[in-house]
A and B are shown apart, each in its own frame.
Chain A
Amino acid sequence: MHRIVFRWLIGALPVVFGVSALTFVLTSLVPGDPGRTILGANASPAQVAAIDKQLGLDEPLPARYWDWLTGAFHGDLGDSITSGVPVSDQLTSRLGVTLSLIGGAILVAAVAGVVLGVLSALKGGWLGRTVDGIALVGLAVPNFWFGLVLMTAFAVQLPLFPATGYVPFSESPVQWFESLVLPVLTLGVPATAPVAKQTRDGVLNQLDREYVRVLRARGIPERSVLFRHVLRNAAAPIVTVLGVVVVTLFGGTVLAETLFVMPGLGGLAVTAASTQDIPMVQGVALVFTVTVMLINLLIEVVYTMVNPKVRT
């Protein structure tokens, strides 16, 4: 286990460094000028140049990146170019929203995916075909449309949940839950499909194996065969698929946050990118990168735990 964490750390540092440098360069290539963004169309070129200088935007790119990097090492991610707000403040206030969304969606995808997958493997027939169908539809249906349908059905027609907005857990756990249901389902339900399909295939594959027949011949109860042996052996690829799903969920948060008006990091990233707010984009990219890497670490740890072969 120590070896995994150590290996992760060795790999993580260059990745974080690389992503931050790449983000910096790419953001600076976006056409436009932050000074112009701040001052508006009527500002003269001289005014724009003056404010760019004030913000240090006239410095060469490597110098600006170095400034950012040294600041980041000291825990200072700078201030937003457009609003003057410290980047870390914005990230802190928004991280909870995005993590709640992603956490909820993973939970939905994992639980529903595994249950559906196992059921379809065991029952086969129409259930199997249904899972296949759902998997296809899940991949084909745009999240955006699905989210709007959920909102119309369960917020407007049946007023069970709020149509928009986010309530922090500290303010009201019940309202926090209610505000998360629809966006989490928007993200989580389509993500269920690949998990269910992998589970079904994995379980079917295991059920065909010799050892299952042997276990059954020995009179081991079916439940035990399924949960203690089959599912455990099928778990490793499911965990891998979940890992991939989680990473794609980050992209999905941009959409879910916009649609359900939630103050998360996805929306922040989009706004910051469109205004060339480099410090803010850097901050969001850093948080996303570190989070994705932590999730990868977690996946690897779980993978090792469920797959004894990796441990040897």
Chain B
Amino acid sequence: MTSHNASARPAAPRGLHRISRVSRLGLAALTTVLSLTVAACGGGTGGTAAGSGSSSGTKVAGDTLTVAEQQSPPSMNPGRLDLGFVDFTMLSYESLFYLSPEGKVEPALAKSWKYVGTGNTELSVTLRSGVKFADGTPVTADAVKASLEYAKKAQGNQAHYLTDATITTSGDLGLIIKLAKANPILPTLLTQSYGIGQIISPKGLAAASKLTPTATSQGAGPYIYEPSDSVAGDHYTYTANPNYYDKAKQNYKKIVIKIVQNGQTAINAMKTGQVDVYKGDYTSASSAKSAGMSTVGLPVILQGLSLIDRGGEVSKPLGDVRVRQAINYAIDREAVTKALLGSSGTPTVQTVIKGGDGYSEDLADHYAYNPTKAKELLKEAGYADGFELPVLAATFVGFDTMAQAIAGQLEKVGIKVKVTAVTSITSFVENQTNRKYPAVSGGFTEAPMYLQGLDLFMPGSKVFNGFGSTSPELTELFDKAAAAEPAARADLDRQMQEYLVKNAWFAPVAFTPVNYYVRPGIGGVKVSAGAPFASPLAFYATK
């Protein structure tokens, strides 16, 4: 029934499988259409799920690293910051765990950890001893508990991962996190890739409203944010933290994150040595390559249709699984991908990438282009003459173009797609949840099936499951997988994906990569299916 291809992947420690960020349709997008463009339209070389690396060479002590990003963060408070901006706080706020470029969860403030008993509902953590915050105060279990509890209440968009958590301490360095519902990847959610895992000192928590770009950071990370050497919205400077516990991880004396909105400007700045690493988009990919930069990226951003009205509330035809399947058969993914994304796109019918959690080789060609079959299915369902399908799209990240391309495909089998394109992310998000549009041309970041459940297809998903679709079968699989041991979970994840594909909850079209452009002389810019976004903490100078 399902393939076991994924089991060939290297096992993640402690049953913690791969992770990626939840959809970037978070605030990164709200404030920043362009940051989404980066996320969703990355072009150039798509790597493989095994990961791809940047320049090789001997690691040497680095002086200053300059990373360019497209959008500035709305705050510098890790408890509230959207996922799209975690780079700005991960340098100065050490997290409980560290997500390596290979996608493995490694120790950071936590020295060791384990799930207690079965069912993935209780995590026991032992902190590293002798660690200090940058302000000199010790990192204790009480301090970590306070930070996690703050993150839980701070209303950030990752707070829901901790909503049902009860945190208790056992001694100076012991923590127990109890969950009302199983969560098999809690340590991953408490790595630097998520703001909630970045620990704020008691002093910082005492005045959390002051965690702004004009105040210094209050963490225990390898660097300290220097407001006096920064201009909010322009550049953010970090210098090595003298109190950091592992000097070997301070690869640079200074790190600067510059905001560069224009891709060509960024490439020019890279050519002249002003920028070392840039999260690029497809418009500048060829320019970056011809300028001698290496590119690193994985196709992790999914584009296509979300058929969210699975109960047929506003579009009766969509309530019929045969119609949703017909839509899937009617899309020539190869052609659309080639036309819109060129070599930057990887056609898909699944919501996970090859090598990712829940991927099934058996499903790869499940909806091979077959307009005849699509028409048959429509006829069986009683829509031989087709029907009109309203689709919500946004005018950024190519969502509207994708919607038009899909419309052209569906037209051929009689489905008349009526695209409504909105210009702001906020109204895009609002319209996904107001039950006006039965289908959405959108995108989201590939993630482990557990996170996809929370944020994409389970009833609790606030944005992407706008009609609150629910299925007893899927819920049962999800609950089982959440509580399962890693080996059993892999199979359950594939079964979930199989359910989504066969019941055509989505009509995915293609994955596109997020691309990093890297100047020669920089190492550590790596991504993998488990960590599709490169972490500046891992970057180092080479000779």
Contact = CB atoms under 8 A, between A and B. Distances in A.
Interface in A151-166: 151-152, 155-156, 159, 162-166
Given A40-B156, A42-B158, A85 B232 contact: yes
- Among A37, A40, A260, find the residue whose CB has the most chain B CB atoms closer than 10 A: A40
B475 interface: no
Contact of A44 (B30, B74, B76, B462): B462
Contacts of A83: 74-76, 212-213, 232
A267 to B, nearest CB: 7
Given A39-B157, A163-B269, A263-B234, A82 B463 contact: no
Contacts of A90: 232-233
Contacts of B427: 31-32
B145 to A, nearest CB: 23
A163 B32 contact: no
B268 A42 contact: no
Nearest to B84: A40
Contact of B75 (A30, A84, A163): A84
Contact of A39 (B80, B232, B233): B80
Contacts of A4: none
B401 interface: no
Nearest to A165: B274
A57 interface: no
Main secondary structure, interface of B, reads: loop
A40 B274 contact: no
Contacts of B23: 41
Interface stretch (A69-77, A233-241, A245-253, A268-276): A268-276
A41 B429 contact: yes
Given A43-B155, A83-B213, A162 B426 contact: no
Interface in B251-283: 258-262, 264-265, 268-269, 271-272, 274-275
B82 interface: yes
A40 B214 contact: no
B395 interface: no
A148 B423 CA distance: 27
B260 A41 contact: no
A144 to B, nearest CB: 8
B268 A37 contact: no
A31 B272 contact: no
A41 B74 contact: no
Contacts of B214: 85-86, 89
Contact of B157 (A43, A260, A267): A43
Given A37-B31, A41-B25, A267-B233, A259 B274 contact: no
A213 B31 CA distance: 65
B262 A82 contact: no
Interface residues of A, number: 47
B461 to A, nearest CB: 9
B209 interface: yes
A291 interface: no
Contacts of B209: 84
- Among A38, A51, A86, A151, find the residue whose CB has the most chain B CB atoms closer than 10 A: A38
A130 B29 CA distance: 47
A41 B23 CA distance: 9
A261 B265 CA distance: 8
A258 B26 CA distance: 24
A70 to B, nearest CB: 23
Given A40-B27, A44-B462, A263-B233, A151 B268 contact: yes
Nearest to A262: B234
A47 interface: yes
A171 to B, nearest CB: 11
Contact of A82 (B31, B259, B424): B31
B417 interface: no
Contact of A163 (B74, B231, B272): B272
B309 interface: no
Interface in B38-76: 72, 74-76
A259 B266 CA distance: 9
A33 interface: yes
B425 interface: yes
A229 interface: no
A94 B213 CA distance: 15
Interface in A21-76: 30-33, 36-44, 47, 50-51
Contacts of B213: 83, 85
B400 interface: no
A149 B213 CA distance: 33
Interface residues on B, range: 35 or more
Contacts of B275: 164
Given A39-B155, A42-B160, A152 B232 contact: no
Interface string B141-154: 00000000000000
A260 B31 contact: no
B212 A85 contact: yes
A260 B463 contact: no
Contact of A32 (B82, B259, B426): B426
Contacts of B269: 163-164, 261
B27 A38 contact: yes
- Among B30, B275, B429, find the residue whose CB has the most chain A CB atoms closer than 10 A: B30
B157 A271 contact: no
Interface in A87-111: 89-90, 93-94
A32 B29 CA distance: 12
Contact of A37 (B30, B158, B160, B233): B30
A93 to B, nearest CB: 6
B357 interface: no
A40 B157 contact: yes
A37 B426 CA distance: 8
- Among B231, B235, B422, find the residue whose CB has the most chain A CB atoms closer than 10 A: B231
A162 B271 CA distance: 11
Contact of B74 (A159, A260, A275): A275
A85 B213 CA distance: 7
B272 A155 contact: yes
A281 B30 CA distance: 17
B282 to A, nearest CB: 18
A82 B265 contact: no
Contacts of B22: 42
A155 B268 CA distance: 8
Nearest to B291: A156
B26 A40 contact: yes
B75 A82 contact: yes
A24 B213 CA distance: 25
B72 A271 contact: yes
A107 to B, nearest CB: 24
A103 B76 CA distance: 34
B259 A31 contact: no
B429 A162 contact: no
Nearest to A264: B234
B425 A51 contact: no
Given A31-B422, A36-B429, 6 more contacts: A40-B83, A42-B22, A42-B26, A83-B76, A148-B264, A259-B262
Pairs of residues from A and B, 8 with the lowest C-beta to C-beta distance, nearest first? A40-B157, A32-B426, A263-B234, A40-B27, A42-B157, A40-B26, A82-B74, A263-B231
Interface of A: 30-33, 36-44, 47, 50-51, 82-86, 89-90, 93-94, 148, 151-152, 155-156, 159, 162-166, 258-263, 267-268, 271, 274-275
21 contacts: A31-B422, A31-B423, A31-B426, A37-B30, A38-B74, A39-B155, A41-B30, A41-B463, A42-B26, A43-B155, A83-B75, A83-B213, A84-B212, A148-B265, A156-B268, A164-B258, A164-B265, A165-B274, A274-B32, A274-B33, A275-B30
